[in-house]
Structure 1
Amino acid sequence: MTRTKRSRKARDMAPIHPHAAAIDIGATMHMAAVPPDCDPEPVRSFGTVTGDLHRLADWFERCGVRTVAMESTSVYWVPMFEILEQHGFEVVLVNARDAKHVPGRKTDVSDGQWLRRLHEYGLLRGSFRPTGGIAALRAFLRHRERLLGYAAAHIQHVQKALTQMNLQLHHVVADVTGVTGMRIIQAIVAGERDPDVLAGSRDPRCRASEETIRAALVGNDREEHVFALAQSLELYDLYQDKVAACDTRIEAVLKRLRAVAAKPVGKLPPARHATKQPNAPAFDARVALHAILGVDLTQIHGLGPSLALKLVGECGTDLSAWPSAKHFTSWLCLAPSNKISGGKVLSSRTRRSGSRAAALLRLAATTVGRTETALGAFYRRLSARAGKAKAVTATARKIAVLFYNALRHGMDYVDPSAAYYAERYRNRVLTNLQRRAKSLGYVLQEAGAESVGVS
């Protein structure tokens, strides 16, 4: 019996995207690659100015390209991505981790060819990137975070100047950016030095007494320290104004999203917390999100209005890109990354990730661990058994699942309470113990019960 030998061409994989191209992104040069049968020179270099990017897109059109893959190199890919989308191409943004290990010597030319070949055979997964209003919302929210970081740095400069003047205000007032702290600092910058007058600016809600504040405001005035204090305060106020302007833009984007939202909006449930969070937006983010999503994300413990708004900015309002909550948590790198060989689990550690959404969920998990809720009880039980790091990751995954179900399926979260969780866990442990005892030929009895013998 003779075996028919298939040709090499028949053994090759069939291309998934026969009209695929790829671009190796750089700071001053882009290396673009098209299929070899489309052009005598299938790999070309282009500059990064806008005219060069349009010429690259025109070349793709002449070559019959329909889909383009590129790596997410810093922010250099953003102009190229947007221009290609304007020309009607399907653009796939891939993680450099998925396209590494170029065979042979590594050059810009071989990188572009290897990326194109991987994309041609469907071996690359596109990264999630929000579009439309969500992309604008995400950009404004990230810019707002940077502004708050700059403002926080100048508050540290304020505290340094106060320490050099031996004014211990930040040791007796919990927050120098609060009402009492800012009144006193502004009075010092204006030239007031009398401790009695400065302590008289104390807000009635301040926990420190007026006498304590007065004793902390007896310092050593020097011209250079007062000058540094004044400039740091001025820069802090400047960034606060910029944050307020950014809040106006964010509110406008949310109104546009509300205009195109198709989800029915019911009655907004009462807020779980009446106090306003530090650095919260100037508008009511909870009401704005409820009007867009139709659900109140803040009912999930750990998610305040500001954190929920950031999560929506990172993940969008439509989570259909992930077929299930398992896919969503895997994308966030909050699920175990199992490596199995020969039926043996070699590793199940979660992958490292720079995802902002995952960082927000970890922050929510840390917060919820201090609450008397079912999530808080889960965090504390796991923390005692496996350590805080694993407890944070596991709790963050649970919050991510609740977030996914709320946005994708409209689920309304109701906390079953910590006592319910503890009782459920106790029953599960008892069931396991009874099953193990039965397998060994014993019967478990409750302490104090009458003896019924041993089977």
Structure 2
Amino acid sequence: MRDLRDLTRYRKKLIHHRTSEQNRIHKILQDANIKLTSVLSDIFGVSGRRILEAILNGEKIETDGLRKMVDWRTKASITDIASAINGRIRRHHRDMLRYHWEHMGYLEETIEELEKQIDQLLSPYRKEVELLDGIPGVNKAAAATFIAEMGVDMSVFKSAKHLASWAGVSPGNYESAGKKTSKTTQGNKALKTIAVECVLATSRQNNRIASHRKSITKRQGMKGRIASAHVLLTIAYNILKTGEPYHELRSNYLEEKQMNKELKMIEYLKKKGYTIPPSEQQTA
């Protein structure tokens, strides 16, 4: 488990380094007035890599050659792409691009090797990986990080709240000079980061976690992602503890929960002898 933790953390660092190199390539292309990003959603996809390699090699890209480089699924027209790569690239630009390109290639090869080692170490935990992979926003890479950071034996945590607190996604309760704050503790940085990333991955989805984040974000802004990370870790805890797969609640479960809460309150007040106006009952 310690070996797995070392590998997943190192993989995360290398991915950050690769992103940095990609950003540097973006900057050099902009400096050379090559606007590939305006016509390709990902310049490091199939089409983008072919074009970049041709630029690095100093090739003169004609329309026919460009048509062979561009994948058939690319939405931009050949004319628009040709116009975007018609910049002012100099020898210096090509040299710098080559340095970053080769380093990026080295990082990608290393990440691939790490993936193989991680996959081997996860062999005893295939069931747990599949269970965690079923949670919205969690893929197999994220599942590997969850297992590496918190293990698969949930008996080491007294409850899901203890796990959330250990990960640093539980609000604190501090008071100083009469002022209260709910700032979270630092916790396990790697686990906290991957939990938040998984939450953000559900942004365009329609599920419990996405609904929870949107609901909290409306009231508390950026705190919504931390609160939802708490929910996600609670789900992961219960799944690993019980061995039961994730079951999706309705995306509007929060609204239904609040409505049921209000209806119970109305019934309680009625039993106590209070009269509830019909308009308020209909709102509830």
TM range (shorter): 0.7 to 0.9
Distance 1:317 1:157, change over 3 A: same
Provide, for residues 115-150 of structure 1, a one-character-per-residue CA deviation record: whole Å limited to 9, x for no partner.
xxxxxxxxxxxxxxxxxxx11011111111222222
State the match for 1:391 in structure 2. Answer: 224
How far has the Cα of 1:390 moved from its partner? 2.4
State the match for 1:429 in structure 2. Answer: 262
State the match for 2:193 in structure 1. Answer: 359
How far has the Cα of 1:202 moved from its partner? 0.8
Provide, for residues 394-439 of structure 1, a one-character-per-residue CA deviation record: whole Å limited to 9, x for no partner.
2111111110111122132211221344323222233335545775
Matched, 1:312 2:179: no
How far has the Cα of 1:215 moved from its partner? 0.9
* Structure richer in strand, relative to its length: 1
* 1:194 aligned residue (53, 61, 66): 61
Distance 1:335 1:230, change over 3 A: closer
Q: Which runs of 5+ in 1 are unaligned?
A: 1-133, 259-288, 450-455
* 2:162 aligned residue (320, 327, 340): 327
Q: Secondary structure at the match of 1:429?
A: helix
Distance 1:239 1:336, change over 3 A: closer
Scaled by the length of structure 2, the TM-score of the pair is 0.87
Distance 1:434 1:376, change over 3 A: farther
Identity, % of aligned positions: 24
How far has the Cα of 1:182 moved from its partner? 0.2
State the match for 2:78 in structure 1. Answer: 210
Matched, 1:163 2:30: yes
Instruction: Give the whole-Å Cα distance in 2 for the aligned partners of 1:235 and 1:136.
Output: 26
Report the residue type matching 2:210 in the other structure: G
Check the 8 A contact 2:164/2:233 in 1, yes or no: yes
Distance 1:448 1:229, change over 3 A: closer
Scaled by the length of structure 1, the TM-score of the pair is 0.56
* 1:248 aligned residue (105, 116, 134): 116
State the match for 2:274 in structure 1. Answer: 441
Q: CA RMSD in A?
A: 2.7
Q: Secondary structure at the match of 1:320?
A: helix
State the match for 1:71 in structure 2. Answer: none
Q: Secondary structure at the match of 1:296?
A: helix
Check the 8 A contact 1:158/1:232 in 2, yes or no: yes
* 1:301 aligned residue (113, 126, 136): 136
Check the 8 A contact 1:189/1:226 in 2, yes or no: yes
Matched, 1:148 2:29: no
Query: Which of the two has higher C-alpha Rg?
Result: 1
Check the 8 A contact 1:434/1:443 in 2, yes or no: no
Superposed, 1:36-185 pairs within 5 Å as 134-185=1-52
Distance 1:197 1:154, change over 3 A: farther
State the match for 2:213 in structure 1. Answer: 379
How far has the Cα of 1:295 moved from its partner? 5.1
State the match for 1:407 in structure 2. Answer: 240
* Structure richer in helix, relative to its length: 2
Check the 8 A contact 1:141/1:250 in 2, yes or no: yes
